[in-house]
Amino acid sequence: LRRAGWVWIRDGLPASAARVYTEERELHRAAGRRPEEAVAMMGLVQTLRMSGRVEEAWTMFAEARGVLEALGDPAQRLSVLQEEGQLCSETGRNREAERCFRAARALAVEIGDVAATALAVSNLAIASMELGRYPESEQAYHEAIALNRQLGNRRNEGVALGNLGNLCKAMGRTEEAERLFIEAETIHRETGSRRHFGVVRGARASLWRATGRIEESERLFAEAIAIHRELGHRRFEAIALGQRANMLRLHGRHREAEEDYRASIAISREVAELGSLGAETGNLAGLLVSTGRIEEGLALFREAIALHVRSGNRLFLGSHQCEHGLALLRAGRHEEARAEWGAGIAVLRTIAAGSLLDEVLSEMREGCRAAGVEPFERDPAQA
């Protein structure tokens, strides 16, 4: 049963996995085998997490963790750390996730478990990326790719390649990002991983939006969202909806964009995903300000920034602080605007935000010109 559950999880089918893990749990409970029951519960935790039922996942995790840690078995302690890190990561608690994955990597190396080391390193790379530590994240992704190639684990190699593509996109390395996405998609087709194929499809759609291939981007977003809905992956559905909303907003389709933002926010709130909730709340705020609903937008910017502080997502924190500053400028609150924009650009500069910095600086100069005030920061080329 446990093996069957693992296969269903690997293939991105949490409902099927939940059925066999529930059966396994009941068998062990009836026989009074508490440690084995706790192991089955950890499998159920994964299915709950993948289905977006995060509060239930945390409750079951807490019960199983107590039993497994009492065994004093390093392998069970490792599984606890990995799952706790995943729960933290998928609910936007990136600092806690990073702590768990660092501890998991150290323990995996200590007991000589290369597969667990590769998983911990790959997850650590994600947490570091979310926290804005890009060089550290890139190094960890390359380590994870090398370890998975050593193991012959094509599926996890594809996951790491796709995530490295996201990092390259964030750093403005678009050609490298596209190459990595194509490589990841090829692997996911080869291994039959529809879950991860859908994730990369959405990431590639976002990249195509940024490079002006709008019709292709919209088609890929539709594919990605359909896959996530088919598989019941609420978290990734929310992410793809938010990314599609960005595309729609950019091309003046404001009503459709607002619908997608609000749908993404509703799902993210439902599954307690702080990262997407903060991102799309801030993006919706920007849309509202741009369409004249300034006070409503300002309130949402404050909400988004508070969420970014909680999650530790410095990229969105800096970006939305800068946008908030320009919204305050439109509202005539010039000194507040200057201070808020300055705080945001300082954050972005600490994480080497690539081409985003040029975009933010250009938007600031245009906003200041429209408001009839001196730029918040001088253009070095004109100094």
Each residue's pLDDT tens digit, 169-182: 988 899 999 999 99
> What pLDDT band is residue 11 in, cutting at 50, 70 and 90?
low
Q: Which residue has the higher pLDDT, 154 or 380?
A: 154
Check pLDDT > 60 for residue 353. no
Task: Confirm whether 350 is domain-assigned.
Answer: yes
pLDDT, position 231 = 86
Closest CA to 51 of 21, 93, 96, 81: 21
Q: 338: burial class by Cβ within 10 Å (0-12, 13-18, 19+)?
A: buried
Q: What is the pLDDT of residues 318-347, one digit of tens each?
A: 999 999 999 999 999 999 999 999 999 999
- The Cα–Cα gap between 195 and 185 comes to 11
Residue identified by tokens 């500069």 is 349
Is 207 among the domain residues?
A: no
**Residue 90: per-residue pLDDT:** 76
Looking at the domain assignment, is residue 358 inside a domain? Answer: yes
Give pLDDT tens digits for 287-298: 999 999 999 999
**Is the predicted pLDDT of residue 358 greater than 50, yes or no?**
yes
The verdict on residue 363 lying in a domain is yes
Q: In which band, very low, low, confident or very high, does the pLDDT at 311 lie, cut at 50, 70 and 90? A: confident
Q: What is the pLDDT of residues 67-99, one digit of tens each?
A: 898 888 999 999 999 999 988 887 778 889 999
CATH number at residue 366: 1.25.40.10
Token digits of residue 126: 């994600």
How many domains does the chain fold into? 1
Q: Tell me whether residue 47 is in a domain.
A: no
Q: Residue 316 is which amino acid?
A: F
For residue 362, is it within any domain? Answer: yes
Give the chain's mean pLDDT.
Answer: 89
What integer is the mean pLDDT of 310-316?
82
- Per-residue pLDDT, averaged over 249-264, amounts to 96
Instruction: State the pLDDT at residue 383.
Output: 42
What is the rounded CA–CA span in Å between residue 31 and residue 47? 24
Percent above pLDDT 70 for the chain: 93
Q: How many CB atoms lie within 10 A of CB 183?
A: 17
- 349 class by beta-carbon count within 10 Å (0-12 exposed, 13-18 middle, 19+ buried): exposed
Can you give the residue range of the structural domain that contains 383? 273-383
Residue count of the chain: 383
Q: Is 360 domain-assigned?
A: yes
**Residue 244 belongs to a domain:** no
Determine the pLDDT at residue 290: 96
pLDDT of residue 234: 86
pLDDT at 6: 60
Mean pLDDT, residues 203-230? 91
Q: What pLDDT is recorded for position 13?
A: 61
